[in-house]
Amino acid sequence: KSTKTTSILERHERKRKRDDPSLSRRSIIMSNAEIQKKIDEIEAEYARTQKNKATSYHLGTLKAKLAKLRSELVNGPGGKSAGTKNAERGFDVSKSGDTRVGLVGFPSVGKSTLLTTLTGTKSEAAAYEFTTLTCIPGTMKYKGARIQVLDLPGIIEGAADGKGRGRQVISTARTCNMILIVLDSSKPVTHKKIIEAELFSFGIRINQSPPNVKVTKREAGGIEYQEMTSQTKGMSSEVARLILKEYKIPCASVILREDISVDQFIDVIEGNRAYVPVLYVFNKIDCLTIEELDILDQMPNYVPISSQHGWNIEELLEEIWTKCNMLRIYTKPKGQMPDYDEPVIMHVANEPTIEAFCNRLHKNLIDDFSHAMVWGRSAKHQPQRCGRDHVLMDEDIVQIVKKVG
């Protein structure tokens, strides 16, 4: 009799959970503490596992589980949105100008002084930490380009987990075309590693390009795996299958067109990574000796400056221009000289074609487009008559010819 009563109660409980979706959701969704505990367990297992060819499959599965759990920890259940479901959104700053540059760094490294030096915008600077509590925008002009510079509040270790409004800062940094990591030259260089780790945890890939990998989900047919080049960083068909299985993708076509690591393959599957160029700005070099500057000079992608004294600011501006891959395209009205004062700024990453150039001028201009006359490095002869698919180069001169009638 008691067994019969228990089975009736179990059936009733199952029916109640099935009828009330919120109950089943609450049982599925883990708390942040549980997710963090699982992450710690997997990290401990990964650390004690030997790294060799025989364990590469197991290590690939552990990496996939780690990436999935970290994504859930940052973005909430599901973990697919980059803008975080249960965390704060970025600062509400409207995008203006041709390029957006964000200043990221620890408190009291001179970000506000650098913003004032670059743009003239007054941002409060003081001798104590966390002077800047919100995002301060400013605009500077360089080589005809209007560059928006954002002075973001200082971040601390654990920012990607929400400490010190860190998620708001890094969410805003994701929207930038370029990030300047401002460091104090007199402080340990380990600060650089901490900031890199925080940005990496939030899905920002520093000075990397998206992997040349194509993953296409299918309805049936299993996993089809192709390598266009030999893989030397741990990827194989078995590792790809294990990772796809972890992400519940039973059928897909995978094409690897370059040599990639397991982490890069996971980034492709996640699909929410931001690939942002980064420049390391070592501020307060007036406190260093020549010998210490020689040591810093061995570091790639860095510029030493003193924002207070205005030292080396011109080199910083030139590095920003180079890293952002901007082009200056000059317009030429028929029968007149080219306008060298106000160039149209385009980005190499966005396919700078004649059609894209027309869309920058006016969205309806391409409808009346007949052809373009181009002078400059992209032209085979001066001038060259070009169509809408012609790719422009820096300092080209373009004259648009409309249809007649």
Q: Which residue has the higher pLDDT, 394 or 169?
A: 394
CB 151 within 8 A of CB 112: yes
CB 134 within 8 A of CB 91: yes
Q: Enumerate the H helices of 290-371 as residue ranges.
A: 290-296, 313-323, 354-361
Per-residue pLDDT at 24: 45
**Tokens 């510079």 found at:** 149
Least confident of 21-35, 265-279, 290-304: 21-35
Query: ∠ at Cα 307 (305, 311), nearest 5°?
Result: 50
Handedness of CA 114, 115, 121, 126 (dihedral sign): negative
Per-residue pLDDT at 45: 84
In the predicted model, is pLDDT for residue 6 greater than 50? yes
- Give me the chain's average pLDDT, please: 81
% pLDDT > 90, the chain: 23
Per-residue pLDDT at 21: 53
Q: Which residue has the higher pLDDT, 291 or 125?
A: 291
pLDDT digits 0-9 by tens, 227-243: 999 988 888 888 888 88
Q: How confident is the model at residue 245 (pLDDT cuts 50, 70, 90)?
A: confident
Per-residue pLDDT at 397: 93
Bridge partners of 399? 373
Per-residue pLDDT at 85: 44
Per-residue pLDDT at 374: 94
Burial 136-155 (b: 16+ CB within 10 A, else e): bbbebebebbebbbbbbbbb
Per DSSP, which regions of 272-357 are E strands? 274-276, 278-283, 302-304, 326-331, 344-347
In the predicted model, is pLDDT for residue 390 greater than 90? yes
Least confident of 51-60, 135-144, 300-309, 351-360: 51-60
In the predicted model, is pLDDT for residue 82 greater than 50? no
Rounded to whole angstroms, the Cα distance separating 85 from 161 reads 13
pLDDT digits 0-9 by tens, 299-346: 888 898 888 888 889 999 999 998 988 999 999 988 899 988 889 999
Identify the helix (H) or strand (E) that includes residue 74: helix 56-75
pLDDT digits 0-9 by tens, 179-227: 999 988 888 888 888 888 888 888 889 999 999 999 999 888 888 999 9
In Å, how far are 257, 351, 378, 382, 389 from 385, measured between CA atoms? 35, 19, 11, 9, 12
Rounded to whole angstroms, the Cα distance separating 256 from 63 reads 19
In the predicted model, is pLDDT for residue 88 greater than 70? no
pLDDT digits 0-9 by tens, 125-181: 554 455 556 788 889 999 889 999 988 887 877 655 666 566 778 888 888 899 999
In Å, how far are 46, 226, 241, 261 from 231, measured between CA atoms? 22, 11, 15, 8
Range ranked top by mean pLDDT from 149-153, 217-221, 271-275, 276-280: 276-280
In the predicted model, is pLDDT for residue 368 greater than 80? yes
At how many degrees (to 10) do helices 190-201 and 166-174 cross? 80
The secondary structure of residue 404, as a DSSP letter, is P
Residue 264, C-beta contacts closer than 8 angstroms, at least 6 positions apart: 211, 213
